[in-house]
Structure 1
Amino acid sequence: MRATLIWTALAAAIIAPVAAAAFSPQLQWRDGIYIASGFAGVVGMALLLVQPLLAAGDLPLSQSDARRVHRVTGTLLLGAVLLHVAGLWITSPPDVVDALTFTSPTPFSVWGVIAMWGVFATALLAAWRRRLPLRPMTWRRVHLVLGLVIAAGTVTHALLIEGTMEVVTKWLLAGFVLVATLRVVWRAGRFRDFARRSG
């Protein structure tokens, strides 16, 4: 019963903002590439809720399964970001150039680019993890910091945009993402304190 409730709550938290965005009046007169790009961004933000829950062991999965799903979800998140940026590039290359060079007049672009580079950095570190001279604790700390940057950047990016996402479900999802991410950061800090005291 507990597992069913957890999966149901997670599904509702993810599906609600995506479904609400599907009925957005701002989708009228938009072409398919723009719509697909926007939904890739929505899906990417929804995936950000899953990642800290998996990392914290909050989902009813074994540790090995949670790690495997965490890697798969990370790959899907990377794909969603690439689709989001590629779609925006196709529909408006100058806006993307301004965003990437941090010269865009819209503040939300800056936060989106920061989150994007965080995702790229995390993907590269994960791909090269075995070849890098990083201790496990150092890897966890870097991964945690990047995760916090991605979550904060994405949430700020989304909240500053008056776009496809419906307001209430957007704010709820943003809150869930931040709470889940900060909870992992807090747990990691408590674990380090405990380890120092025990040592």
Structure 2
Amino acid sequence: MTARSLLIWVVLAGALLVPLTLAVQSPLLAYRDPIYIAAGLAGVAALALMVLQPLLATGALPGLQLPRARSIHRLVGVLLVTAILAHVGGLWMTSPPDAVDALLLRSPTPFSVWGVIAMWAVFVTATLATLRRKLRPGVWCVGHTALAVVIVAGTVTHALLIEGTMEPISKGALCALVILATGKAVLPALRMLGLSPPAGR
């Protein structure tokens, strides 16, 4: 591995681990129920995993050939779904009425609505992934791309609206990385589908 490749991996690891580490150290976690803490940290982990997904899907990470990267992309997708289930399940266990209101999109807190929209988009994406071989390539590409945009928009809005355990600056930086990484992956797909102007215009 070259020095440049190593530096990229170190920077990426730092970008993902620093927000999680700062969240663990948040004073807002004092005296909280362990299930609530685990649920919150699962949400932070899910946000961090979303940085990896587009980078793996496009083979942008050094040292990983595209087939290998996409294989890991599928594994990270499973981890992402697991983290979301842990996040929502933990919140359900600590406050069932609030969880029900959020899932029924009648919560008074806007961040809950955005989070639920992103959650269902992730679940639909996972379902499509299991059916991919039965779908026409164009249907898969359009569906996956559109859902990725919904997931990122919903998740980032959800995270930024919450004043919780995540440290604000690291949270903002992590959200920005999610947007940039996803944009880099989505724009070429949109150009291929004729839904975006060619690069340079």
Aligned pair partner of 1:66 in 65, 69, 81:
69
Show structure 1 runs of 5+ residues with no match.
none
Query: Identity over the aligned pairs, expressed in percent?
Result: 57
Offset from partner CA, 1:132-173 (integer Å, 9 cap, x none): 3x2112201211111111111111000000001000000000
Q: Which residue of 1 aligns with 2:51?
A: 49
Taking structure 2 as the reference length, what is the TM-score of the superposition?
0.92
Say what the alpha-carbon RMSD is for the aligned residues.
Answer: 1.2
**Residue identity in the other structure for 2:175:** A
What count of residue pairs does the alignment treat as equivalent? 192
Q: Which residue of 2 aligns with 1:32?
A: 34
**Which structure has the highest helix share of the two?**
1
Structure 1 residue 19 displacement after superposition = 0.5
State the secondary structure of the residue aligned to 1:172: helix
Offset from partner CA, 1:33-90 (integer Å, 9 cap, x none): 0000000000000000000111222102101111110000000000000000000000
Q: Which residue of 2 aligns with 1:174?
A: 175
**Residue identity in the other structure for 2:50:** L
Aligned pair partner of 1:127 in 112, 130, 138:
130
Taking structure 1 as the reference length, what is the TM-score of the superposition?
0.93
Aligned pair partner of 1:92 in 69, 92, 95:
95
CA distance in 1, matches of 2:68, 2:42: 25
Structure 1 residue 191 displacement after superposition = 3.2
Aligned pair partner of 1:75 in 70, 78, 91:
78
Offset from partner CA, 1:17-42 (integer Å, 9 cap, x none): 00110110100010100000000000
CA distance in 2, matches of 1:183, 1:155: 16
Runs of 4+ in structure 1 over 6 Å off: none
